[in-house]
Amino acid sequence: MQLDKEISIGRLGKADFSAAAKFFRKTLKIPSYHSGEIKDDIKSYSARNLSKSVKNRNLIFLAAKNDGEIIGLIFSSTYKGTGWIDWVVVEPGYRRRGIAKRLIKEAERIMRNNTTRIWADTATGNYGAVKMLDGLGYRKIAVLGHYYNNDKIIWEKIL
């Protein structure tokens, strides 16, 4: 896919909820996603739930857009001094272009105001995400077997 204009990164607004929920559903249905909790995840990030959740100052929902179209999302949160990267998803045709890295860096920038560390998880076989998080300064703190039906690496970055 051709990049039409500069890719912008910003918070989800009211006009984005429906498109973000649709993008999230579509992304979770690709073959590389194997969670046994897919229905719960899709429900959690429905347009209705996004519109309710975005008012919570501890939740950070960002979108990467190319010419106004959502091509990537990050859902993250903070709680008692710890940030958590819940989801980073990028349209398959836009992967390996630094979009996920930009989304994470922007979420980190926002989280710095009230966190001292950020946690994330990846499937052990998601080699691109493993390499990216390692390159962003995250360190592996645990490997969990059969976490949500996958083996997961838990990552931490001290801010």
Q: What is the pLDDT along the chain (159 residues), one digit of tens a residue?
A: 455 458 999 998 888 888 888 888 787 665 444 555 555 565 666 667 666 666 778 889 999 999 999 999 999 999 999 999 988 999 989 999 999 999 999 999 999 989 999 999 998 888 999 999 999 999 999 999 876 667 889 999 999
Q: Radius of gyration over alpha carbons of the chain, in Å?
A: 15
Judge whether 84 lies within some domain. Answer: yes
Judge whether 3 lies within some domain. Answer: no
Pull the structure tokens for residue 144. 């969990």
Judge whether 47 lies within some domain. Answer: yes
- Collect all residues with Cβ–Cβ distance below 8 Å to 3 and sequence separation of at least 6: 66, 97
Range of the domain at 82: 8-158
Judge whether 2 lies within some domain. Answer: no
Q: How many domains does the chain have?
A: 1
Q: How far is CA 32 from CA 27, 126, 127, in A?
A: 9, 9, 12
CB atoms within 10 A of CB 77: 18
Judge whether 1 lies within some domain. Answer: no
CATH number at residue 25: 3.40.630.30
